[in-house]
Amino acid sequence: MRWLPSAVLALLSVAWIARSADTGEETSISLTPERAVKLRRPSDLHFSPDGARLICVVSEFKESTMVRHLWLLEMSRGELRQFTFSQKSEWSPQWSPDGEVLTFLSDRAGSRQLYGMNLNGGEASAIAAISSYDISDFRWAPDGKQIAFLAREPKPATKDGDAKIADREQELQRIWLVDRASSKIRQLTAGAWRIKEFDWVSPERILLIASHEPKAETWNDALYSVDIRDGAISLFGKPNQPFEGLLLSPERKQFSFVSTAANGPIPHDLFLQAVNGESARDLTSPIDRAVLDARWQNESALLVRVIDGFHNRIYRIVPGKTAPGSIDLPLSVRGFDIARDGAIAFVGVGFDRLPELFVRTTAGAVRQVGHLQEGWEGVHLADAGLFRVKSFDGTDIEAALMKPAAPPSGGKFPLVLLVHGGPASNFSADYFWFNSWSQLLAARGYEVLMVNPRGSAGYGERFLKANRGDWGGGDFKDLIAVLDAVIARGETDPNRLGIGGWSYGGEMTQWAIGHTNRFKAAVSGGGVFDQVAEFETENNPAGDEWYFGTPWDHPDVFAQNSPATFIRNARTPTLIVHGEDDRNNPVGQSRALYRALKHYGVECELIVYPGEGHLPAQEKHQIDILQRMLDWYDRHLN
């Protein structure tokens, strides 16, 4: 059921008008940048082995710092409550195989270490606490006697200003084993291995997703098997690249992973393989939707969460018996888990619904458990209408239009076209930091247009690959085709159009201002200006290599796909924001854009945020970007 009260929206405001039962006075509560980031974010759901309890991670800002704590749901009571209360954070919860111990990672002692807590009482205690390294991941052995964890080797003492050597083996993470009875720790792997994922096949063997050529900045992972007696590593298989999401079945007889039917640009289909080495088979090709994650219910059935346009849906698969079947749920699914009896816990979201925890019973009834969000009573979130448009070549493009509740003051609405990141991503019916842009703009009286152009996930693998080597070609035409269709409805002012986005969305914003002057304001966040410079300085360039090749072999392709090539045509006032420590799209990209716009006399501002990576993590910086974005559009469109 909806927890938002019924209300009326004030003119050009996001305020719910809530009448006080005591005084009869009306109170207007507005969505502000400060309010927009103050929400709880549930994730990482795990049922206990007996299905009696569910543990999840809830993240939120506390005194401007993002903290993560564990929350526990007692299924019999339907009671959701906070379970850990340290001054730091806890995350990555896992139950012991017998369900008696809850384990998790925490930085409560400074470094990231592994802790355990008995649910019958007592404090959490360190299971593998060695302050000289941070643990990034761990897995229980199926017999519960050992835990494998991933961490670097202890580093030698260094001083500020010491030389930094690239690609040192000492920086690679190793698998370590801790004995549950004695707490003794031993190192299992060494050498030139980049290990990404791992899990136990049996008490004697661990399966890895890893690379034996860690210096190569390409997709070169494979499946490997490790003998825990001597650490010997042997090749197990080579799935299509890229692949991820290693998941062992309950009886460890088979495992699943997400790969591609052909190759790139992202893992797309769920594959199943037996641990005896039989060939993998594609389970989700009939769905043809990008798989986000999967969960085993039992040895013969598993559930997958897929991107289906603007919504994430769950399908049930019984390999070899029935075709994948969709499970009917009332909301888009951000994360989920399934108990052995078939009960499903999931985080439900929508354009106008903040994330909350829900349970679907074995009988199919769905109920909300707990109320995570606080301080949002009386705040209105706008919904969005979905529609489709035929693009220039007849391709079907889906989009969402969010409209203000109040009529426009000047007869027609100003509109902002937002572009999602990726490009192999999508807009979804959800609320998170970037989607709060649309809510804040709608609150200010703007129409907000969100388009999933070709290259987006959620419409099949062929659609996903349709912009290979063509960023700014068909995808940009899709954006414009949808924009023109909305303007043709007659409610949008064609003289008050803005554009903006983050990452690939920032890049497409830069592309737009070099190809048209119809936008009167632009906001580019964490974008790419010059594809050559990007490729040569970014972390993990394998994805860009899939789209463009390398700049040394295909300089013409990189030039054709770079906003820098066309920036001389720009006239649109542009706000540029970027994290100073961004390694995905280094900050030099935005500095170069700023220099070019200044050179051509275009109104522009550049704001760089210290300590931030590709996405802003600090509360004050998130708020600052939201406020500057609103002010920029207000200045140029109203």
Residue 295 placed within a domain:
no
If you count them, how many residues does the chain have?
A: 638
Q: What pLDDT shows up at residue 194? A: 97
H, E, C per residue of 172-199: CEEEEEEECCCCCEEECCCCCCEEEEEE
Residue 607, helix vs strand vs coil: strand
Write out the two tokens for 309.
């346009």
Q: What DSSP line would sit under 516-557, residue for residue?
A: -S--SEEEEES--S-HHHHHHHSS-THHHHHHH--TTT-HHH
At 91, which amino acid appears? Answer: W
**CATH at residue 499:** 3.40.50.1820
Q: How many domains does the chain have?
A: 1
Distance CA 257, CA 246 (A): 5
Phi and psi dihedrals of 615, rounded to 5? Answer: -120, 140
Q: Nearest CA to 352 among 436, 451, 441, 425?
A: 436
Average of per-residue pLDDT values in the chain: 93
Strands 574-579 and 521-525: parallel
Residue 67, helix vs strand vs coil: strand
Give the pLDDT mean for 476-486.
98
Q: What pLDDT shows up at residue 121? A: 66
Contact 315, 284 (CB under 8 A): yes
Residue 630 placed within a domain:
yes
Q: Is the pLDDT of residue 14 over 50?
A: no
Q: Is the pLDDT of residue 26 over 70?
A: no
Contact 25, 32 (CB under 8 A): no
Q: What DSSP line would sit under 71-110, residue for residue?
A: EEEETTTTEEEE----SS-EEEEEE-TTSSEEEEEEEEES
Write out the two tokens for 368.
């909300």
DSSP 420: -
Residue 59 placed within a domain:
no
Token pair 């207007």: residue: 28
Give the pLDDT mean for 284-295.
97
Residue 118, helix vs strand vs coil: strand
Q: Which residues contact 277 (CB under 8 A, 6 or more apart)?
A: 236, 237
Write out the two tokens for 553.
């072999």
Residue 203, helix vs strand vs coil: coil
Contact 372, 58 (CB under 8 A): yes
Q: Which residues contact 599 (CB under 8 A, 6 or more apart)?
A: none
Give the pLDDT mean for 608-636.
98
At 93, which amino acid appears? Answer: P
Residue 348 placed within a domain:
no
Q: How far is CA 292 from the centre of its chain?
A: 10
Q: Which domain holds residue 399?
A: 384-637
Higher pLDDT, 242 or 28: 242
Q: What pLDDT shows up at residue 29? A: 75
Q: What pLDDT shows up at residue 133? A: 80
Strands 413-419 and 492-502: parallel
Residue 616 placed within a domain:
yes
Give the pLDDT mean for 39-52.
97
Could you tell me where the beta strands, DSSP code E, fall in 351-412? 353-360, 366-368, 384-390, 396-402
User: What pLDDT band is residue 8 in, cutting at 50, 70 and 90?
Assistant: very low
Provide the percentage of residues in the chain whose pLDDT is more than 70. 95
Q: Is the pLDDT of residue 321 over 90?
A: no
Q: What pLDDT shows up at residue 19? A: 29
Token pair 């995808």: residue: 475
Distance CA 81, CA 73 (A): 7
Write out the two tokens for 175.
């698998």
Q: Which residues contact 315 (CB under 8 A, 6 or more apart)?
A: 284, 287, 303, 304, 306, 324, 325, 326, 327
Q: What pLDDT shows up at residue 6? A: 26
Residue 340 placed within a domain:
no
Contact 478, 454 (CB under 8 A): yes
Q: Nearest CA to 563 among 588, 589, 535, 587?
A: 589
Strand partners, 287: none
Distance CA 383, CA 402 (A): 6
Write out the two tokens for 599.
């050179």
Question: pLDDT tens, 192-235?
Answer: 999 999 999 999 999 999 999 999 999 999 999 999 999 999 99
Residue 590, helix vs strand vs coil: helix
Token pair 């710092």: residue: 65
Question: pLDDT tens, 98-130?
Answer: 999 999 999 998 899 999 998 876 789 999 767
Contact 282, 264 (CB under 8 A): no
Cα angle 191-195-196, degrees, rounded to a multiple of 5: 165
Phi and psi dihedrals of 305, rounded to 5? Answer: -105, 125
Contact 635, 411 (CB under 8 A): no
User: What pLDDT band is residue 23 in, cutting at 50, 70 and 90?
Assistant: very low
Q: Is the pLDDT of residue 312 over 50?
A: yes
User: What pLDDT band is residue 158 in, cutting at 50, 70 and 90?
Assistant: confident
Distance CA 552, CA 414 (A): 43
Residue 33, helix vs strand vs coil: helix
Q: What pLDDT shows up at residue 128? A: 79
Question: pLDDT tens, 380-402?
Answer: 999 999 999 999 999 999 999 99
Residue 278 placed within a domain:
no
Q: Nearest CA to 466 among 268, 259, 265, 284?
A: 265
Give the pLDDT mean for 529-546.
97
Phi-psi map region of 300: left, alpha, beta (phi>0 left; psi -120 to 50 alpha): alpha
Give the pLDDT mean for 339-350.
97
Write out the two tokens for 431.
């609320």
Q: Is the pLDDT of residue 12 over 50?
A: no
Q: What DSSP line would sit under 238-300, residue for residue?
A: -PSSS-EEEEE-TTSSEEEEEE-SS--SS--EEEEEETT-PPPEESSTTT-S-EEEEEEEETT
Q: What pLDDT shows up at residue 502? A: 98
Distance CA 579, CA 52 (A): 43
Q: Is the pLDDT of residue 5 over 90?
A: no
Q: Is the pLDDT of residue 16 over 60?
A: no
Higher pLDDT, 24 or 48: 48
At 445, which amino acid appears? Answer: G
Q: Is the pLDDT of residue 576 over 70?
A: yes
Residue 416 placed within a domain:
yes
Higher pLDDT, 527 or 79: 527
Distance CA 244, CA 270 (A): 10
Q: Nearest CA to 398 among 406, 411, 389?
A: 389
Give the pLDDT mean for 551-575.
98
Phi and psi dihedrals of 513, rounded to 5? Answer: -70, -15
